[in-house]
């Protein structure tokens, strides 16, 4: 088992930390450099977390557990049109990234309007390719409640956000509701806004941690981070991808940002623990830009 951590500190001597991660059999998930500051997301064997903490202290940095690192979250808005987009959606995305999340934003084709909103099967399938969905809705209780059909049969955990306080039982299909995040014509920079964003982060981390604990009882045949590392080392085309995180980790697989029709056979033939990846995972075309979606089989699949 691996623990996902975030190191925040200076660039100076950071190579020592990267070498230690490699020596411990860990992996670097994402690296961001802001002038002289470094934010490093990593996956480390549970028994070696103490060594990373000691090294971080030596480098005058700090390390924290990052439950959202190694997962992919989707933020769903009724539409990305200027008039209807809850401004909070952009700030939610930015805030989650500060805690190690890899997130995508989706605007529904006809989600705006209480009486006209809708969601297609293709949009549902795209949303369900992620580990967690956050539906960023608006400022009126009745509008949010009436739109619960947008997520009531989504087959992944769902968090709904909006301005008013709404009892969770009034939102069928939602696993959690976070208030204080409705449509606001300004950036979320005030005290109540930050507290609401912190509550959203806390809720997302709790749901992802619960999902991880459930997966321990029927774990993937190989850790997704191992698959990610194998693809990055065995598929040269990955080096030419300019999108952030060309191999994006998920709790039960990875998203490879290469065209399915052109590269799926190469991905299928990647060797992981002496086996072809096609023997360990379902490899299919993603609904996102025809990318390659790799979903690792669970241990129970061996019995089936």
Task: Give the model confidence (pLDDT) of 55-90 as tens digits.
Answer: 999 999 999 888 888 899 999 998 877 655 556 788
Query: What pLDDT is attached to residue 271?
Result: 98
Q: Rounded distance, CA 63 to CA 53, Å?
A: 6
Q: What is the pLDDT of residue 192?
A: 85
In this prediction, residue 32 carries a pLDDT of 80
Q: Write out residues in the chain with pLDDT < 50, as ranges.
A: none
Q: What is the pLDDT of residue 82?
A: 61
Q: Quick one: which of 77, 73, 72, 20 has its CA closest to 49?
A: 20
DSSP helix/strand/coil, 252 = coil
Identify the pLDDT of residue 114.
76
Distance between start and end Cα atoms, the chain:
24
* C-alpha to C-alpha distance for 39 and 109, rounded to whole angstroms: 35
Cα dihedral 88/89/92/96 (nearest 10):
-170
Q: Which two tokens stand for residue 90?
A: 């952009």
pLDDT of residue 277: 97
Q: What is the pLDDT of residue 166?
A: 96
Task: Please report, for residues 22, 51, 219, 269, the alpha-carbon distance to residue 215 in angstroms, rounded to integers and kept in the order given.
Answer: 26, 26, 5, 26
Q: Which residues contact 58 (CB under 8 A, 6 or more apart)?
A: none
């Amino acid at each position: 088992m691996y623990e996902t951590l975030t190191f925040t500190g200076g660039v100076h001597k950071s190579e020592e930390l990267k070498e230690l991660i490699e020596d411990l059999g860990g992996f670097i998930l994402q690296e961001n450099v802001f002038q002289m500051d470094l934010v490093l997301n990593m996956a480390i064997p549970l028994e070696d977390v103490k060594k990373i903490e000691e090294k971080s202290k030596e480098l005058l940095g700090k390390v924290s557990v990052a439950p959202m690192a190694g997962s992919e979250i989707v933020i769903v808005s009724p539409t990305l049109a200027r008039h209807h987009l809850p401004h909070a959606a952009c700030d939610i995305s930015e805030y989650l990234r500060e805690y190690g999340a890899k997130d995508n934003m989706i605007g529904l084709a006809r989600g705006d309007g209480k009486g006209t909103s809708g969601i297609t099967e293709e949009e549902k399938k795209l949303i369900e390719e992620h580990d967690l969905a956050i539906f960023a809705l608006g400022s009126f209780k009745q509008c949010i409640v009436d739109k619960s059909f947008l997520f009531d049969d989504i087959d992944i955990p769902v968090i709904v956000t909006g301005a008013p306080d709404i009892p969770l039982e009034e939102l069928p299909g939602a696993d959690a509701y976070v208030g204080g995040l409705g449509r606001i014509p300004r950036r979320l920079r005030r005290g109540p806004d930050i507290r609401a964003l912190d509550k959203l982060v806390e809720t997302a981390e709790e749901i992802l941690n619960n999902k991880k604990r459930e997966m321990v009882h029927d774990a993937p045949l190989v850790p997704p981070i191992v698959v990610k590392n194998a693809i990055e080392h065995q598929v040269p085309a990955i080096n030419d991808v300019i999108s952030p995180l060309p191999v994006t980790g998920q709790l039960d697989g990875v998203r490879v940002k290469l065209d399915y029709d052109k590269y799926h056979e190469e991905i299928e033939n990647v060797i992981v623990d002496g086996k072809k990846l096609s023997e360990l995972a379902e490899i299919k075309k993603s609904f996102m830009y025809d990318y390659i979606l790799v979903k690792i089989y669970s241990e129970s699949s061996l019995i089936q």
